[in-house]
């Protein structure tokens, strides 16, 4: 049976991805800090903990699963101006947003190499291209994700294709939390919607469809790419 591994699978984006891949007939192995209701097999722990990845690979082997894709969605945010930066927060940001991907890829790439059309999809962000006041830590991690994606696309070719998705504003608890930091969340949300050429924020399901495309044979000549799915935010701003 063919399986995919999804990190951040209990979140809005990860849950949408897990649902879509299950609907497409894949066995979904999820990893998050809490149980993943949309995964067939749910692992609870930190993405940067090598022990949990050893458990996942053992589970894959013992159940004789063929892994076709690793989808790295797990991430966190941190807001503060640089003069107040807490270094422990910065370190944790890189542990979760970057090292979690590195460790997952380290443990799963040997299994992925055994599967035809194997893929890795990393979660980036348009923030890596535009910057954002108060979110330097988040922006820095997403810039690292882009560079990691390009380097590993070369290193793992031709056996594994490695790409990333850079969404604009997406309707998830993660982004709503950011919106609610504004003095006037309703006005700020309207302003954010107008920043997009499509005059709205995206949905988790729309990004899940982009991720599915990058794992499918329809994208078989795509690797090392950062696919922007931002409703026209970058071209407008």
Which residues carry out catalysis?
138
Residue 33 buriedness (CB in 10 A; 0-12 / 13-18 / 19+): middle
Distance (Å, whole) CA 220 – CA 130: 29
Secondary structure of residue 230 in the 3-state scheme:
coil
Distance (Å, whole) CA 105 – CA 70: 8
**Quick one: DSSP state of residue 65?**
P
Closest CA to 223 of 128, 159, 168, 129: 159
Distance (Å, whole) CA 196 – CA 168: 8
Q: In the beta sheet, which residues pair with residue 30? A: 6, 42
Which residues lie closer than 8 Å to 137 by C-beta, 6 or more apart? 78, 80, 85, 89, 90, 93
């Amino acid at each position: 049976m063919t399986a995919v591994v999804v990190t951040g699978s209990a979140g809005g984006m990860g849950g949408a991805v897990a649902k879509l891949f299950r609907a497409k007939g894949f066995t979904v192995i999820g990893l998050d800090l809490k149980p993943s209701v949309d995964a067939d097999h749910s692992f609870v722990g930190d993405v940067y903990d090598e022990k949990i990845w050893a458990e996942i690979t053992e589970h894959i082997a013992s159940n004789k699963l063929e892994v076709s894709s690793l989808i790295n969605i797990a991430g966190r945010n941190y807001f503060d101006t640089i003069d107040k930066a807490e270094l422990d927060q910065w370190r944790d940001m890189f542990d979760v947003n970057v090292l979690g991907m590195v460790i997952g890829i380290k443990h799963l790439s040997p299994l992925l190499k055994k599967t035809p059309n194997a893929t890795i999809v990393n979660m980036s962000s348009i923030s890596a291209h535009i910057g954002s006041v108060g979110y330097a830590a988040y922006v820095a991690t997403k810039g690292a994700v882009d560079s990691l994606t390009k380097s590993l696309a070369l290193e793992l070719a031709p056996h594994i294709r490695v790409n990333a998705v850079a969404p604009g504003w997406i309707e998830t608890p993660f982004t709503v939390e950011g919106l609610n930091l504004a003095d006037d969340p309703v006005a700020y949300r309207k302003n954010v919607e107008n920043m997009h050429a499509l005059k709205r924020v995206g949905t988790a399901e729309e990004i899940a469809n982009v991720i599915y495309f990058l794992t499918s044979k329809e994208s078989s000549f795509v690797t090392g790419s950062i696919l922007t799915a931002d409703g026209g935010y970058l071209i407008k701003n």
